[in-house]
Amino acid sequence: MASRISPAELGVMAARWAIREGATEAEIYIHVFRGYSADIRTNKIETVAAIEDVGVGIRVAVGKKTGFSYTTGMDAQRVREAVKRAVKQARAAPEDKWWQGFPEPSKSYPEPGGMFSVAVARAGPKTVLEHAREMLDKASSIKDLVLARGSVSVYTLERAVVNTNGVYRVDVGTAALVTAGVTMRKDGLITPMIYDMDMSRVAIPESDAVVERAAETAKQCTTLYRGLQTGKYTVVLSPKVFAELMEETVLYSLRGDIYVRGRSYYGNRLGEQALSEKITIVDDGAMRGGDATWRFDGEGVATARKVLVEKGVVRGFVFDSYWGRRAGQESTGNASRDGYASRPHPGYTNVVVEPGDAASEELLDGRVLVVHQVQGAHTTNPDTGEYSVLANPAIYYENGEPKGWVPGIVLSGNFYKEIASNVEALSKTVEKAYPGMYMPWIRLNGITVAVKS
């Protein structure tokens, strides 16, 4: 039956089954992910394989009691059994006094464009294999370089959301992702693994360019600099590092569920200057060609562009329907799902920190540490902003000239305070830090740096 019924039609059937089982409301989310991937390990193509992830998530309400279940695949009988489990769970659950039902359809939905490519949808194993070989060719042309890890993947994702309040939405998108992890071995020195990536919704990124960018950073690590002492330094964070620290602190505190629970660092700062005036943060689920662009979120609510921080002033939080209603607001179109196996929760789409006006030579003026990657960002305390991360690699510059890689550096501090008071400049350009995160380079002063003796 799975081959003869569309995801949306199955969603309608499952919603009806839920009502027959005794649910007062039902919501069905269907996720059909299919594609191909080529993986590289240590200068060799290791696998070329099909990738598939198909499943159905069922959320129901019995009065003010809710339940959730899911099943893999689209077999009607298994979906019906999952519906029964969800209803049974709801009946046994305690009442949620805040429950106000599933959302109704949005008045209008965006048409952002740049989400689907026939060429990417039709790309098969030969295509990803060709691009993986291009990565290997580029790596072999660069002296002393090892392409330790790499991948090329293409996929199509179809999403359907149906609920008993009238939501009936289907969206189909494509994407292609290229990743590379390289090291360089020179004169007995082995550099840290340098990672780079690129992603597009409508074309396969230039795979050799991803390798080349990673190699350029690795080359800077083939010279060591031993003259740095522990102390306070001006630091320039790459877009990737900036994104990781933002995600663990600022973006955590701009989530609606964290705000309602009273855990947000910015909970009592709405409308106030809480970050540097150089910082403007936008969440844009309708950005043309964005990595996380869709016409609707995980509950079928229209996506939109939201300014969360404007020149340092906190303007708002991201909400799904449940947490929005608890805050006395509407959903912002930010119901996120970790696939079909999770309930929706407030999350982000395409996050953009708007660029500044600093050229690269301004960012590198004076004595500066440029941090390309960190380890341990996930250990940051999201409530207080305190962090301690290994900078790997960090390159020391003097007046724009790289002096070498400083191994064993640890950065520590309080990112909430530093993003408010220590920002000197943002780059003129915004780069893709990783899928869905668009960041400039950022220059911060007075950062605590511990150097391994």
The pairing of strands 367-371 and 231-237 is parallel
Q: What is the predicted pLDDT for the residue at 188?
A: 87
Q: What is the predicted pLDDT for the residue at 1?
A: 41
How do residues 365-405 score in pLDDT, each as one tens digit?
Answer: 999 999 999 999 999 999 999 999 999 999 999 999 999 99
pTM: 0.95
Question: With 50 as the cut, is the pLDDT of residue 286 above it?
Answer: yes
Q: How far apart are CA 260 and CA 239, in angstroms?
A: 29
Question: With 70 as the cut, is the pLDDT of residue 3 above it?
Answer: no
Q: If you average pLDDT over residues 286-300, what whole number do you get? A: 98
Q: Of 1-10, 98-107, 255-264, 344-353, give the lowest mean pLDDT range.
A: 1-10
Question: With 80 as the cut, is the pLDDT of residue 453 above it?
Answer: no
How do residues 182-201 score in pLDDT, each as one tens digit?
Answer: 999 988 899 999 999 999 99
Q: What is the predicted pLDDT for the residue at 4?
A: 75
Question: With 50 as the cut, is the pLDDT of residue 300 above it?
Answer: yes
Q: Which three-class secondary structure string do you get for 42-92?
A: CCEEEEEEEEEEEEEEEEEEECCEEEEEEEECCCHHHHHHHHHHHHHHHHH
Q: Helices (H), strands (E): how many in the chain?
A: 11, 24
